[in-house]
Amino acid sequence: MEAAEKTFLANLDTLPAIVGFVSEHAAAMGVHPKRVMHLELAVEEAAVNICSYAYEIPPGAVTVRITPEPGVVRIELIDNGVPFDPLSMDAPDIKSELENREVGGLGIFLIRRMLDEVHYSRSGDQNILSLAVRHDEK
């Protein structure tokens, strides 16, 4: 299967369509069902962050690009929102009591744990979050 790309409004109402787009293409590209589920959760978390925080005057847009590579599927979430590197956030202290934890950061922590690669870059006025998962079950 070839690469696929689609642009969505960056609002919470489009989350099911974004996740469905990724899920459908990842499965068609041979990703193991368990890994597709990991991708769905990771993409939903990343898209929620974009929809909620990327644009000062919502809604903006988020482009989802899915590219097959040997043994891997790469998903890029691209927005033109305010510059933000989610990977620069400190990892949450998951061992501390819930009421003592700072708000935020858990979603990125989970994304890093579920996927094989997570990268952020800024190109011109675009934030690019790149997520990759191997085809196998892991």
pLDDT in tens, 8-41: 999 999 999 999 999 999 999 999 999 999 999 9
pLDDT at 138: 63
pLDDT at 100: 56
For residue 118, what are the contacts with CB-CB under 8 A and spacing of at least 6?
87, 111, 112, 129, 130, 131, 132
Does this model's pTM top 0.75? My answer is yes
Structural domains of the chain, count: 1
What is the domain-level CATH number for residue 100? 3.30.565.10
The boundaries of the domain holding residue 88 are 4-134
Residue ranges of E strands in 1-138: 4-9, 61-69, 72-79, 117-123, 126-134
pLDDT at 108: 82
